[in-house]
Amino acid sequence: MERLGAQTIKLQNPPTIVEVASIVGPKEGQGPLAKYFDQCLEDEFWGEKTWEKAESKIIKETVNSVITKSGVPADQIDYCFAGDLLNQCISSSFGLRELNIPFFGVFGACSTFVESLCLGSIFVDAKAARNVLCATSSHFCSAEKQFRFPLELGNQRPPTSQWTVTGSGAAVVGENGSGPYITMVTPGKIVDMGIKDANNMGAAMAPAAVDTLITHFRDTGRKPSYYDMIITGDLGYVGKEIVCELTETKGYNIKNNYEDCGVLIFDKEKQDTHSGGSGCACIGVTFSGYFFKQLKDKKLNRILLVATGALTNATTSQQGESIPGIAHAVAIETSIN
Binding site for a second copy (CB under 8 A): 1-3, 7, 9, 50, 52-53, 78-79, 83, 85-90, 93-94, 96-97, 99-109, 115, 118-119, 122-123, 125-130, 187-192, 311-316, 319, 321, 324, 326
* CB-nearer residue toward a second copy: 127 or 270: 127
Rounded CA separation 70/130 (Å): 14
Radius of gyration of the chain (CA): 18
Q: How far is the CB of 245 from a second copy (least distance, A)?
A: 23
Closest CB to a second copy among residues 201, 264: 201
Q: How far is CA 20 from the centre of its chain?
A: 13
Instruction: Write down the least CB distance from residue 46 to a second copy, Å.
Output: 16
Three-point CA angle 318, 105, 91, nearest 5°: 65
Burial class (CB in 10 A: 0-12, 13-18, 19+), 319: exposed
User: Is the CB of 30 or the CB of 313 nearer to a second copy?
Assistant: 313
State in angstroms the smallest separation of the CB of 71 from a second copy: 21
By residue count, the chain amounts to 337
CB 81, CB 170: distance < 8 Å: no
Q: Considering only CA atoms, which of 276, 244, 242, 238 is closest in space to residue 257?
A: 244
Give least dist CB 192 to a second copy, A. Answer: 5
Task: Check: CB of residue 229 under 8 Å from CB of residue 287.
Answer: no
d(CA 304, CA 281): 18
In the complex, the smallest distance separating the C-beta of residue 143 from a second copy, rounded to whole angstroms, is 11
Q: How far is the CB of 227 from a second copy (least distance, A)?
A: 21
Q: Closer CB to a second copy, residue 110 or residue 300?
A: 110
Q: Which of 121/232 has CB closer to a second copy?
A: 121
Distances (CA, A) of 78 to 11, 124, 159, 168, 268: 19, 10, 44, 21, 41
Task: Select 79 or 291, whichever has its Cβ closest to a second copy.
Answer: 79
Residue 228 C-beta: closest distance to a second copy, Å: 26
| Secondary structure class of 323 (helix, strand, coil) | coil
Helix 236-249 to helix 201-220 angle (10° resolution) is 40
Q: Which is nearer to a second copy, 39 or 322 (CB)?
A: 322
d(CA 101, CA 263): 34
What minimum distance in Å lies between the beta carbon of 82 and a second copy? 10
Alpha carbon of residue 192 to chain centroid: 20
Is residue 24 classed as helix, strand or coil in its secondary structure? strand
Q: Which is nearer to a second copy, 94 or 226 (CB)?
A: 94
